[in-house]
Amino acid sequence: MFNLKKLIMKTLLFSSLMFLVIFSCDDNKMQSEDSQLILTRSETEFTGTLNGNPAGKGDSFNIQSFSIEGDSAFITITYAGGCNRHTFEVIWSETYIETYPPQTDLMLVHNANGDACKALITEKITFNISKLTGPIDYETVVVNVLNGHSPGGPAISGNWNPSDINVYNVVFPEGDLCQVEVTASTAICGAGLWENLWLALNDSVNAGVEGTYFKKWLQPVALSENIKNFKAVPGKKYLIGARIQKDHSFNNVVICLAYPGPSVPVKITCVRELK
């Protein structure tokens, strides 16, 4: 005989169990599918988030670890969710702090997209940092990552050793012919044959701050025997021949920590003054 009462009870019991399965995951640790990732280059947006209201920007989350291998950046995060796909935005400040090594800042902002579930999600965000910042030529950069929800809190940092050959590299035709135009100028900090009197190429790169540029330098560390008595004069222009010389006597000279701009040590092989 059909028992309607038993059927209703079984249905209610099944529904209750499903409710517990769905909503009892508050304390579970889960590995989510990849969130949507947005990369943004904006000093204005970075500054606005940094100086915004006390609650910061975006939804709450925690940064557990940060590292860079080659040009691949890895940020491990945790956040509450489990029902919707979340969005994270990495905002680069577009500036470098002239410490040694130099530093730059990223802001990570979280959008939960209305996810009201409470499972503890652990996720590793991965992106190519050189695609975000563009090419640079620092040997090492300290990258600081700030939490956009509480930007005034402590940052988590990692070292980046940029690997790409790019526009910050000092490229010139090496050789013994006088074919490279340079200007003898004072580098902000450096050592060489004439202390910090270096040879600036006619090329420069944006320093990441509006209206500020780095010169590209040839650091004179040696002279060919036929021009051993040559000494550059500040402000003078020359055509020179030069070859890169990485091993030289100025490698271990203690100098100040200010960054003069991208440079390469050279042996000068030919020199001719321009009028």
In a domain, 32, yes or no: yes
Per the structure, the count of domains in the chain is 2
Instruction: Report whether 52 contacts 151 (CB < 8 A).
Output: yes
One domain, residues 113 and 65: yes
| DSSP string computed for 49-82 | HHTS-TT-SS---EEEEEEEETTEEEEEEEEEES
Report CA 130 to chain centroid distance, whole Å. Answer: 7
Q: What Cα–Cα distance (Å) separates residue 31 from each residue in 113, 116, 125?
A: 18, 17, 12
Phi, psi dihedrals of residue 116, rounded to the nearest 5°: -100, 0
Q: Are residues 122 and 196 in the same domain?
A: no
| CA separation for the pair 213, 190 (Å, rounded) | 18
To which residue do tokens 């590299």 refer? 169
> Is 250 within the bounds of a domain?
yes
- Residue 161 confidence (pLDDT): 83
In terms of domains, do 220 and 138 share one? no
How many angstroms separate the CA atoms of 231 and 127, rounded? 47
pLDDT tens, position by position, 4-32: 455 445 444 444 434 333 333 443 333 34
Is residue 238 in a domain?
Answer: yes
- Provide the domain limits for residue 81: 26-160
Are 54 and 155 within one domain?
yes
- Which tens digit of pLDDT belongs to each residue from 239-274? 999 999 988 888 877 677 677 888 899 999 999 999
CATH number at residue 49: 2.60.40.2370
On whether both 101 and 54 belong to a single domain, the answer is yes
Residues 246 and 199 in one domain: yes
pLDDT at 210: 66
